[in-house]
Structure 1
């Protein structure tokens, strides 16, 4: 029988019950109609932009790079969602690459919606603090397909001139991307500039195939690609065997002398790195059976307003949003009617490498540069998300239309794998207790997976029944590997015939705009300190160590790290709101797995544009113009960022203010042979939790009916069960083979 037919028998694929959002989702993506109207508006000759169709444009043309939603300012959203304020004005964000201007730049604009006769095209400058507003110099702007095409003739010429060398060394040559004789692929690292005054392109070569990332070649061509005039582009040099050759002549001389022979030749066959079944590895016993599944057997317990992307679950309510740059975002997160977070969103996924060749030594990635959200795609039901999950589409403007990725967000409730609470009282009877209580724990999860180049980032946001929230990110996919050298193990081990795993950091930055009840909050620091004390009832002990708490509020904006031995607790509290016991209400920030920051703090490749990755945590005062930790084009501006996170910290108070906590998750990726074919989600994981800390008067479990209260009769030893009306569900399961004593259909 088909698996999905089995699932339906258990009624677990029912749609989520519907609900109606209390307010319109003011953070929602602009509609396809709005996106098209913006496209038509900016292409109207009356705008004077002299735009070219992106399909035919070159680097010396002006063309629209993308249209997206401009996030509504918090100061405009709160009056509407909290009271009778007007619906905030919606704006579109438009990025135009202006290569046809005397000063070629990238410029961001904002357009008020809906388009009307008096609509204006305004420069979007207020979100950026680097001094140039939304403008980025041409040399620092995104290295899109137009720039690749502009540098292609030089790369083709250079590589054709040395094709005999590459054929002899690697059995391959590059004659240009469109030449049928070409049997090598190329990739270009970032950054390609340091401040926008000049630009370079470091080209790495690999064998083609589905797993091209795993078959790198020890050959790099570096080009000077400054400006829009491709006739001025020049060769900077070649790198192979850790040697730099500034000219073709010097490279050829080394080749003729027999100095370029590869000690560990790369394999052209990369099927060994496909994510498919490998029969040569054998088969584990009983692995032909379907693995256990997490099923919502009792029916869905969350409600959804699909139009407004609004969710209700066990006291939780929240809105979802999506942008092409950042992906899935959450707003107005409330527990039992009280706001905990105004916004929870991923801000950047950075990765910095180490090595002794141009690709690894000089690479840092900002994945928003590659439009992180657009790389979120269809999820595999039953594998990426449990069977019966609620699957939602994502959409975003693309060109003059809207692109839709079906089933790219999943919502599912899952058993936590442990009870929320449990206790038994001891007894001498045969059962070992007189009373036992156990409360079932479950979580509503929202998940997306974004494949950015070689990595599949899985983001899971869990809303727990106790009022806590967990954020988890996992990474799978191909290593950006390097050619193997036996004397360079300090950057990673050999993982295949000619392949080395490249040491790197993954740092994923998030924004948590807390509003504990309201927007007047503080970051409370509770230090567990060791102090000397005496006890008069044990005078003979003299002075001895004892632990105690030292509680303060952080005064001003700061970047900071988790305390050694976990001896500091960070809570966002509301000084004016107390629970029944007179204690300030708040939420604790609880470190989970692998809470790290960037290892390299002074690299020229990540000097000034990656400041958000250089501490575990940070706290700032909210400003509408500090919406993002990073600019999506910052990667090429290490010395002159378009948006500088370091400038957020200007001594403002964060005590009794509207504060934002920025936090980093990630992994130091100590590469290993078990990263072949791809990195495994089990190990490459990082998480954090926000847990109620005196936010309530007691634990949020007493109102849950999914529990058992068991009493043992001390005389007879019999047990009585209280199920509070939540009996075990009835579910029919068909057995493939009759089992002795069991009918083909059984009820569990």
Structure 2
């Protein structure tokens, strides 16, 4: 099944994307500067720039969000809402308010023309447990700000599952209100078997507020298949900072269908890989001595913490500060913070933020010409392997950094006629827009790198605690033993992105250039007869479809302009280049991800752009694997994609073959996936000729005389000496 998805978990936890860095003033106090401080540019803020137009994708203001909250709670609106703090699962209450993404058809006449900026609307999710037929319903409120023209209506048009913005009660997000409703049943069951759990696991559960409780419950998703029923598969762990690594072999399965908690009941208990339908069945096996922990879990999980562990040994010179990136000479990007607009080395783009999608990029241009209308994350999900009930169904910062390699380099040797050898090297760098989202057991690092050559690289990395399982040696097919009583369950991480390409305009095609082998003859090689030779076979995709990267990389996929060519008559475009670990979901027919996760089941997909097909997924799909609120499969209805407004959907991710080195946490070095969008005849030549950050060196082969040209970009005339680090953890801040 899909473990708690990133989007769903972000909704539940409301955790901001943060990146830790030292406070700037403390950083400056920790170093001594000799020479011209200004020349170093270390303390210079980013230059400002005025965005060409007001950001039409920007989130609604806090003031508008508060006004929307007051508006929907007004008795005149008639929603009969209860304040969330006082609500139960049988009340109507607001779950969240966020921005409704403005339709592309409304934005383009404004951003490219002289039409007024489109109206803003809020998206409001209300859990309507107090209705005769309880549902979760989405609404749209606007236009904003609130005035006499503002109205509220059901938000149905962006969902294609048949019920619009409504989701059955049983399939709605399992929030704290629903959890509280089933808590009395769980406490009564656990109290009845407390003597068993105490002996087997040194653990008891009498409720989260009871001082006797010393184990922690956790529930996976989904809690429903089609909205007609609901259930909780509750696993238990030892509490602590590394609780995900300390599972115990106890699972309680509850039927929690409907809003009447008095009708909830026990479906069964699982331990020792055995299912017991009743407490009596469990007790019978316990009293017969049939239950025991083969590999008992340890309560002390210090081994799962990221603190320094000197017992692992000391590495020579590890007491020295590791290399750091410093923007000598000052920042080379410009910001309009009010409009969330950025310019860098020919690139320009707007940004927005959604509670359900995270960071979004809009109107991405290179040297004034649009490449992408939208680039955004759509979903982040994990599907696990395992035999236990849980395992089986389970801020932003901007900086420029050196690429670590030159953008271009070549040495031309001297000849008899030309007595100079030449060496040219062009510095490579990229503007990184980076966010880290901590969701439950993982820290997802999202990095969007805008390279100076006009290419755009998207990278995702995952680090954090494994969602592990109790270890049994006869279940090694699901993953290795990674600690005394812990198994690292194999799983897939899949992250789905939307790339709405507009190569200069909206008339685009998806070109497939295959590398094929053909037999041919050449008259100047008669002795070879017929022999194999490579050729390019170029076609255009004609209809919407899902597809995978070609084996051995023997195909190039490019979004090209239907009408525009470069100086050499070639169609202008951008190529999709697979990076590291471009995968899709391993299991295509799991009951926990059957129909609501179609987008995960291929590496790539192409569709025609529609305002009603703005998302690959619905955040409430997690509990509807058999009857999704929004069905990606319905996008593929035979529409043509040649000379149309195209959207490319792509997946990044990794097959997580768990290992002992995932303790204490998975490492970013190998849990990584990436893709590159690179110019493909978009320009007339490589985009490095206008970069002054280069060196041109000529050497006279006879005299050894050196001619050196730095094009006026010399190192700043300053000296920076870092003192011994003395900062305390408490002095660090988050941004």
Q: Which residue of 2 aligns with 1:98?
A: 128
Paired residues, number? 691
Taking the aligned partners of 1:12 and 1:554, their CA distance within structure 2 comes to 50
- The 3 A distance-change label for structure 1 pair 732 and 24 is same
Q: Which residue of 2 aligns with 1:654?
A: 641
Of 232, 236, 240 in structure 2, the residue corresponding to residue 201 of structure 1 is 232
Instruction: Give the secondary-structure state (helix, strand or coil) at the position aligned to 2:97.
Output: strand
Is the aligned partner of 1:222 residue 2:246? no
Instruction: Give the secondary-structure state (helix, strand or coil) at the position aligned to 2:634.
Output: helix
Map of 1:221-260 to 2, 5 A cutoff?
221-260=252-291
Give, in angstroms, the shift of residue 471 of structure 1.
Answer: 0.2
Q: Which residue of 1 aligns with 2:330?
A: 299
Q: Which residue of 2 aligns with 1:397?
A: none
Q: Which runs of 5+ in 2 are unaligned?
A: 1-24, 725-735
| Alignment check: 8 A CA contact 1:501 1:672 kept | yes
| Alignment check: 8 A CA contact 1:424 1:433 kept | no
| Alignment check: 8 A CA contact 1:560 1:616 kept | yes
Instruction: Give the secondary-structure state (helix, strand or coil) at the position aligned to 2:525.
Output: helix
Taking the aligned partners of 2:531 and 2:236, their CA distance within structure 1 comes to 65
Give, in angstroms, the shift of residue 736 of structure 1.
Answer: 5.5
Is the aligned partner of 1:683 residue 2:675? no
Q: Which residue of 2 aligns with 1:385?
A: none
Of 127, 135, 147 in structure 1, the residue corresponding to residue 166 of structure 2 is 135
Taking the aligned partners of 2:84 and 2:540, their CA distance within structure 1 comes to 52
Of 73, 77, 83 in structure 1, the residue corresponding to residue 107 of structure 2 is 77
Q: Which residue of 2 aligns with 1:561?
A: 548
Q: Which residue of 2 aligns with 1:420?
A: 407
Instruction: Give the secondary-structure state (helix, strand or coil) at the position aligned to 1:624.
Output: coil
Once the two structures are superposed, what CA deviation does each residue of 1:243-284 show, in whole Å capped at 9, x if it has no partner?
Answer: 111000110011111111101000011121111111222322
Is the aligned partner of 1:671 residue 2:658? yes
Is the aligned partner of 1:41 residue 2:71? yes
Instruction: Give the secondary-structure state (helix, strand or coil) at the position aligned to 1:728.
Output: coil
Q: Which residue of 1 aligns with 2:515?
A: 528
Q: Which residue of 2 aligns with 1:645?
A: 632
| Alignment check: 8 A CA contact 1:558 1:620 kept | yes
Q: Which runs of 5+ in 1 are unaligned?
A: 364-407, 738-748
Map of 1:699-738 to 2, 5 A cutoff?
699-734=686-721
Give, in angstroms, the shift of residue 719 of structure 1.
Answer: 1.4
Instruction: Give the secondary-structure state (helix, strand or coil) at the position aligned to 2:595.
Output: coil
Of 297, 312, 322 in structure 1, the residue corresponding to residue 343 of structure 2 is 312
Taking the aligned partners of 1:61 and 1:192, their CA distance within structure 2 comes to 20
Taking the aligned partners of 2:689 and 2:506, their CA distance within structure 1 comes to 29
Q: Which residue of 2 aligns with 1:271?
A: 302
Give, in angstroms, the shift of residue 11 of structure 1.
Answer: 3.0
| Alignment check: 8 A CA contact 2:32 2:721 kept | no
| Alignment check: 8 A CA contact 2:32 2:723 kept | no
Map of 1:366-381 to 2, 5 A cutoff?
none
TM-score by length of 1: 0.91
Q: Which residue of 2 aligns with 1:109?
A: 139
Taking the aligned partners of 1:735 and 1:29, their CA distance within structure 2 comes to 41
Q: Which residue of 1 aligns with 2:10?
A: none
Taking the aligned partners of 1:260 and 1:297, their CA distance within structure 2 comes to 65
| Alignment check: 8 A CA contact 1:7 1:13 kept | no
Instruction: Give the secondary-structure state (helix, strand or coil) at the position aligned to 2:684.
Output: coil
Taking the aligned partners of 2:206 and 2:275, their CA distance within structure 1 comes to 22
Give, in angstroms, the shift of residue 7 of structure 1.
Answer: 8.3
- The 3 A distance-change label for structure 1 pair 81 and 241 is same
Once the two structures are superposed, what CA deviation does each residue of 1:359-389 show, in whole Å capped at 9, x if it has no partner?
Answer: 11122xxxxxxxxxxxxxxxxxxxxxxxxxx
Of 635, 651, 668 in structure 1, the residue corresponding to residue 622 of structure 2 is 635
Give, in angstroms, the shift of residue 137 of structure 1.
Answer: 0.1
Taking the aligned partners of 2:121 and 2:98, their CA distance within structure 1 comes to 9
Once the two structures are superposed, what CA deviation does each residue of 1:307-349 show, in whole Å capped at 9, x if it has no partner?
Answer: 0000000000000100111110100000000000000000000
Give, in angstroms, the shift of residue 118 of structure 1.
Answer: 3.6
Instruction: Give the secondary-structure state (helix, strand or coil) at the position aligned to 2:70.
Output: helix
Give, in angstroms, the shift of residue 110 of structure 1.
Answer: 0.2
Q: Which residue of 2 aligns with 1:4?
A: 28
Once the two structures are superposed, what CA deviation does each residue of 1:214-235 show, in whole Å capped at 9, x if it has no partner?
Answer: 0000110000000000000000
Give, in angstroms, the shift of residue 578 of structure 1.
Answer: 0.1
Instruction: Give the secondary-structure state (helix, strand or coil) at the position aligned to 1:488.
Output: helix
| Alignment check: 8 A CA contact 1:472 1:688 kept | yes
TM-score by length of 2: 0.93
Give, in angstroms, the shift of residue 4 of structure 1.
Answer: 3.3
Q: Which residue of 2 aligns with 1:410?
A: 397
Give, in angstroms, the shift of residue 735 of structure 1.
Answer: 6.5
Of 319, 335, 340 in structure 1, the residue corresponding to residue 366 of structure 2 is 335
Once the two structures are superposed, what CA deviation does each residue of 1:17-56 show, in whole Å capped at 9, x if it has no partner?
Answer: 0000000111111101000000000000011111001011
Q: Which residue of 2 aligns with 1:595?
A: 582
| Alignment check: 8 A CA contact 1:59 1:150 kept | yes
Q: Which residue of 2 aligns with 1:492?
A: 479
Instruction: Give the secondary-structure state (helix, strand or coil) at the position aligned to 2:536.
Output: strand
Of 613, 617, 620 in structure 1, the residue corresponding to residue 604 of structure 2 is 617
- The 3 A distance-change label for structure 1 pair 284 and 338 is same
Where relative contact order (Cα < 8 A, 6+ residues apart) is larger, the structure is 2
Give, in angstroms, the shift of residue 427 of structure 1.
Answer: 3.2
Is the aligned partner of 1:696 residue 2:688? no
Q: Which residue of 2 aligns with 1:516?
A: 503
Give, in angstroms, the shift of residue 419 of structure 1.
Answer: 0.5
Q: Which residue of 1 aligns with 2:15?
A: none
Q: Which residue of 2 aligns with 1:324?
A: 355
| Alignment check: 8 A CA contact 2:32 2:722 kept | no
Map of 1:418-457 to 2, 5 A cutoff?
418-427=405-414, 434-457=421-444
Give, in angstroms, the shift of residue 119 of structure 1.
Answer: 1.9
